[in-house]
Structure 1
Amino acid sequence: MRFVIYGAGAVGGVIGARLAAGGADVVLIARGAHLEALRRDGLRVESAAGSARFALPAVGAPQEIDWRPGDVVILTVKSTETAAALAALAACAPPDVPVVCAQNGVSNERAALRMLPDIYALCVMLPAEHLSPGVVVQGSSPVPGILDLGRYPRAVDATAEAVAGALRAGGFDSVARPDAMRFKYRKLLLNLGNALEALCGRLDDGATEALDVLRAEGTAALDAAGVDYASAAEDRARRGDTLRVDVPRGGGSTWQSLRRGTGRVEADHLNGEIVLLGRLHGVPTPANDLVRRLVNAAARAGRPPGELTPSAFLRLLRR
């Protein structure tokens, strides 16, 4: 089994490095200055244990890969890039290549299933950061993350078990489970604060009210849509004390996108998912719509994190 990491940023870089450390064959797909650094110097992973360098093959597109039986794609691009990534895979990869969606949000698996038949949902609990070309930061040790997965929409098969085994060999806590999407929906509720964190630069105790409003709308929308999602208690039980963050991040994935000036964030697939469900089922979601619009505007304009405060966001919402 060879793993093709499609999107070797924060999450993809740590997953690829740990899989390789566990003995797996790994190929990275990246772009731009990051790809140049990977080809020139290898992938550098910073953690509490120090710095480690991984000399892994890196390409700029799936068309550059000599595909072979047993390949598995770990899709780790942002949700905004999923459509382009799937189109590229469908054009050159084997039609039965398994694709594991290790992404935030809940729309990627459905989109992938339109293009390819063997799709897996993976719930990412992995504190990581990528701000400099060729470098990713693993934020938790000794266990880098919790990566449970299952065949989409709800099953466990031999491929899911094999991928979970390879992830465990790389040091992750990973199990194959049929209800992986239930935990991805719970993660969606947690990720509704990503856009607010990016706008504010950092969330402190004063953000509690704003976060509560975002997540209350999210819960109401999921309930109205009849979505089955893991409870907060289930999520706490699964996490336990496994993740021990010993290298603090500047911020989450949306914060990192603003910080790097990528011009795009994935709020439409996080807060926007709640807005969509609210509109379909008659649930008002003004807070999620506002934070989605504000962070998209900031990304388009190239503004850095920290231009707003939680109290200012609430004032705008009340207007």
Structure 2
Amino acid sequence: MTIERYIVYGAGAVGSVVGGLLYRAGRKVCLMARPSHVSAIADRGLRLETPTEVFTLDVPAESSVTRLKPSPGDAILLSVKATQTAAAAAELAAHFPADTPVFCLQNGVANEPVVATSFANVYPVLVLFNAVLPEPGRVILTITDFLAVGRFPAGTDALTAQVAADLTVAGLPTREHPDAMAVKWGKLIGNLNNALLAVTDCYWQKAFADPAMLAMMRAIMDEGLRVLAAAGISPADVTGRFDIRAQVEAFAARRLEFSDTPPEQRGYPSMWQDLHFRRPETEVDYLNGEIVRLGQQYGVPTPINRALMAAVAESIQTRQGVGQFPLERLQARIAQGETAS
């Protein structure tokens, strides 16, 4: 099979960037997104802002999968939140053949097994860039980095080669990796910090430039890595290129560069955006929750990740947005949890 069309199902910030850049590179693309986003794209195109340029794309977009006619060369780029994966897989399975390749551009490690119950060809995709969707029809690529793709549960094939080539030509450097799920475990360790930035109201560059935030980020990841070690899960490959701690340290080395990032270039995790827009759910259970559950199973204390989950839950309940837990308040909560345990 050769991919003839990319259907980006759940085209929010990440999906719109990927789909938009593929479309700009000459690939056939259709975005599946919320009605407000689709309407804005229909009215004035997709405005895509990168660190070096701004352009508008007349990319096709639909709000209902029923409006698409499946074709043999279709590939699905799944970019919904982990909370929506089961429903998305069920809807897609009702309209697309079971051999349609599905590429999971999602956080966490729970998506691929769910999709694999409906589709035979499932592909984990590691996404390390950051993007935000400040308003319908407009997306901003704030922090750029590479992508990686492989088969689920392991391996590579002709489609991973094509996707890697297509994304690279589109401006998103992508490589194949034979153990993409191990790589996704590595990203999960980094994504544990999403909750920290959301409840403290902080963006990535500011966190990298703040010694206190960096110390907390390292502590969060170290707790997660202790849990994975106890569970026998390795989150990095032999080269260390996909070691998420190394990624954080590399960004930390750019502290001066990040110390005065203009507002339009600030990178916020999707969980920050969820709390900011008062959405009723986040992916915290699929990120920090994975560590808490594994910690409980293998007898490893997880007071930091437990505190973060509680802080996110309280922020959702109060509907007061981001920043309800300044770092000092969060540290006090963590200390309480350590004492209780």
Q: Would you call these one fold, judging by a TM-score over 0.5? A: yes
**How many angstroms apart in 2 are the aligned matches of 1:85 and 1:251?**
25
Q: How many residues align?
A: 315
* Among 131, 136, 160, the residue aligned to 1:133: 136
Query: Does the 8 Å CA contact 1:201/1:251 hold for their aligned counterparts?
Result: no
What amino acid does structure 1 have at the position aligned with 2:170? Answer: G
Q: Comparing 21-30 with 308-317, which one deviates more in the overlay?
A: 308-317
What amino acid does structure 1 have at the position aligned with 2:325? Answer: L
What whole-Å deviation, never above 9, does each CA across 1:1-54 have from its counterpart, x for those lacking one?
200011111111110011111111000010132222122222110123332111
* 1:3 counterpart = 2:6: yes
Q: What are structure 1's unaligned runs of at least 5 residues? A: none
Query: Does the 8 Å CA contact 1:121/1:152 hold for their aligned counterparts?
Result: yes
Segments ≥4 residues shifted beyond 3 Å: 236-241, 243-247
What whole-Å deviation, never above 9, does each CA across 1:154-177 have from its counterpart, x for those lacking one?
110111111111111101111112
Partner in structure 2 of residue 296 of structure 1: 313
**How many angstroms apart in 2 are the aligned matches of 1:32 and 1:277?**
38
**How many angstroms apart in 2 are the aligned matches of 1:60 and 1:118?**
24
* TM-score scaled by length of structure 2: 0.86
Query: Does the 8 Å CA contact 2:131/2:268 hold for their aligned counterparts?
Result: no
Partner in structure 2 of residue 106 of structure 1: 109
**How many angstroms apart in 2 are the aligned matches of 1:208 and 1:147?**
24
Query: Does the 8 Å CA contact 2:123/2:152 hold for their aligned counterparts?
Result: yes
**How many angstroms apart in 1 are the aligned matches of 2:40 and 2:313?**
29
* 1:281 counterpart = 2:298: yes
Query: Does the 8 Å CA contact 1:19/1:166 hold for their aligned counterparts?
Result: yes
* Among 220, 227, 234, the residue aligned to 2:226: 220
**How many angstroms apart in 1 are the aligned matches of 2:318 and 2:94?**
33
**How many angstroms apart in 2 are the aligned matches of 1:279 and 1:251?**
30
SS of the residue corresponding to residue 134 of structure 2 reads coil
**Offset of residue 250 of structure 1:** 4.8
**How many angstroms apart in 1 are the aligned matches of 2:104 and 2:330?**
32
Correspondence list, 1:187-226, <5 A: 187-202=187-202, 203=207, 204-226=210-232
* 1:148 counterpart = 2:148: yes
**How many angstroms apart in 1 are the aligned matches of 2:64 and 2:85?**
13
* TM-score scaled by length of structure 1: 0.92
Q: Comparing 216-225 with 65-74, which one deviates more in the overlay?
A: 216-225
RMSD of equivalent CA atoms = 2.3
Q: What are structure 2's unaligned runs of at least 5 residues? A: 337-341
**Offset of residue 58 of structure 1:** 1.1
What amino acid does structure 1 have at the position aligned with 2:80? Answer: V
**How many angstroms apart in 1 are the aligned matches of 2:25 and 2:281?**
33
Query: Does the 8 Å CA contact 1:207/1:311 hold for their aligned counterparts?
Result: no
Correspondence list, 1:112-191, <5 A: 112-140=115-143, 144-191=144-191
Query: Does the 8 Å CA contact 2:101/2:122 hold for their aligned counterparts?
Result: yes
SS of the residue corresponding to residue 150 of structure 2 reads strand
**Offset of residue 99 of structure 1:** 0.5
What amino acid does structure 2 have at the position aligned with 1:295? Answer: V
Partner in structure 1 of residue 22 of structure 2: 19
* 1:266 counterpart = 2:279: no
* Among 235, 240, 245, the residue aligned to 2:242: 235
**How many angstroms apart in 2 are the aligned matches of 1:57 and 1:145?**
26
**How many angstroms apart in 2 are the aligned matches of 1:35 and 1:20?**
16
What amino acid does structure 1 have at the position aligned with 2:16? Answer: G
**How many angstroms apart in 1 are the aligned matches of 2:241 and 2:267?**
28
Query: Does the 8 Å CA contact 2:80/2:106 hold for their aligned counterparts?
Result: yes
**Offset of residue 300 of structure 1:** 4.0
**Offset of residue 114 of structure 1:** 1.6
What whole-Å deviation, never above 9, does each CA across 1:124-165 have from its counterpart, x for those lacking one?
11121112111100124xxx4411100011110111111111
Query: Does the 8 Å CA contact 2:142/2:267 hold for their aligned counterparts?
Result: no
**Offset of residue 228 of structure 1:** 2.0
**How many angstroms apart in 1 are the aligned matches of 2:58 and 2:302?**
46
**How many angstroms apart in 2 are the aligned matches of 1:174 and 1:117?**
23
What amino acid does structure 1 have at the position aligned with 2:81? Answer: K
Partner in structure 2 of residue 318 of structure 1: 335
Query: Does the 8 Å CA contact 2:130/2:268 hold for their aligned counterparts?
Result: no
What amino acid does structure 2 have at the position aligned with 1:15? Answer: V
% same residue: 35
**Offset of residue 101 of structure 1:** 0.6
**How many angstroms apart in 1 are the aligned matches of 2:91 and 2:118?**
10
What amino acid does structure 2 have at the position aligned with 1:235? Answer: F
**How many angstroms apart in 2 are the aligned matches of 1:62 and 1:160?**
24
What amino acid does structure 2 have at the position aligned with 1:41? Answer: R
Partner in structure 2 of residue 44 of structure 1: 47
